[in-house]
């Protein structure tokens, strides 16, 4: 069994066939957590999860890009770019608290800092991130952290919160994109997990991190509908494809797929309490 710890079947990319996508995942022995990016997608993630007794959960939060209304294009690599629009949204704690009170909500996120798309509102991004960390602590939930070109500031905020809350602060750095030294700081200093997705099947940037960081600190994810792994590049991603991420990790670490499945699934179940 595998767990896709970061999916977005709650996004419009699946509005016509989301149930079928989830059905394929569950039939393929794959569980999933749909992460919210704003209130509407967070509520949708909870709504979807309520339809399943087990195997499907939700995370609720605001992605930092939703502080403003803009159009973005993210370059994954030279062959892939993702276009999307955002709308300005304030973090209303009470609304998210109500979503969290549903037992299908197992994390706060995705939340964090994104200086790749916007460096002009760093202060506001930090404030939003801190609000969501505090909400997670209040509810004894982990955080799913988005970090793009902002590792120093994310580490600084997490260190401060760690000094205040200790082991109550826990979570995952989703789609980890940092260096080995930063990976070690997250894992060894803060006790966080690192999430990896389809990027590792077509880019060699993170082979050293994956080889050096212990399997007990890693989580598998897809970030679907984005970052589709080989051999499906160019097509819409889905939770079932997390298997290709796991296979690549096994290859990089020179261990069996069974070991990757067993350990990363255990990691996810322990972190998210599922």
Is 146 annotated for ligand binding? yes
Is residue 6 marked as binding?
yes
Tokens for 116, please give them.
Answer: 């790749």
- Cα 39 from Cα 42, distance rounded (Å): 5
- The CA-atom distances, in angstroms, between 187 and each of 58, 182, 241 are 24, 9, 26
Residue 117 is labelled as binding a ligand: no
Tokens 């255990």 sit on residue: 266
Strands 193-196 and 171-173: parallel
223 is in an annotated binding site: yes
Q: Scanning the structure block, which residue is given the tokens 């819409």?
A: 236
Instruction: Give DSSP secondary structure letters for 143-195.
Output: EEEEEES-HHHHHHHHHHHHHHHGGG--EEETT--S-HHHHHIIIIIT--EEE
Helix-then-strand count for the chain, H and E:
10, 10
Binding residue ranges = 6, 8, 110, 146, 174, 223
Binding residue ranges for a divalent metal cation = 6, 8, 110, 146, 174, 223
């Amino acid at each position: 069994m595998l767990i896709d710890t970061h999916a977005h079947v709650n996004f419009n990319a699946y509005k016509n066939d989301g149930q079928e996508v989830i059905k394929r995942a569950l039939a393929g022995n794959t569980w999933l957590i749909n992460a919210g990016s704003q209130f509407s997608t967070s509520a949708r993630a909870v709504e979807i999860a309520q339809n399943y007794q087990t195997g499907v959960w939700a995370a609720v939060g605001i992605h930092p890009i939703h502080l403003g209304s803009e159009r973005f294009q993210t370059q994954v690599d030279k062959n892939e770019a993702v276009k999307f629009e955002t709308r300005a949204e304030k973090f209303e704690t009470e609304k998210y608290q109500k979503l969290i009170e549903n037992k299908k909500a197992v994390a706060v996120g995705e939340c964090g800092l994104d200086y790749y798309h916007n460096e002009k509102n760093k202060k506001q991004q930090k404030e939003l991130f801190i609000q969501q960390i505090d909400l997670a602590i209040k509810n004894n939930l982990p955080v799913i952290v988005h970090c793009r070109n902002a590792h120093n500031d994310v580490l600084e905020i997490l260190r401060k919160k760690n000094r205040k809350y200790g082991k109550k602060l826990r979570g995952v750095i989703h789609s980890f994109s940092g260096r080995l030294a930063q990976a070690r700081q997250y894992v060894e200093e803060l006790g966080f997990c690192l999430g990896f997705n389809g990027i590792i099947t077509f880019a060699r940037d993170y082979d050293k991190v994956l080889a050096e960081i212990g399997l007990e600190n890693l989580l598998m994810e897809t970030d679907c509908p984005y970052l589709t792994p080989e051999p499906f590049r160019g097509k819409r991603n889905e939770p079932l494809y997390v298997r290709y991420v796991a296979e690549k990790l096994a290859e990089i670490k020179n261990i069996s797929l069974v070991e990757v499945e067993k350990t990363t699934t255990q990691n996810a179940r322990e972190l998210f309490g599922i």
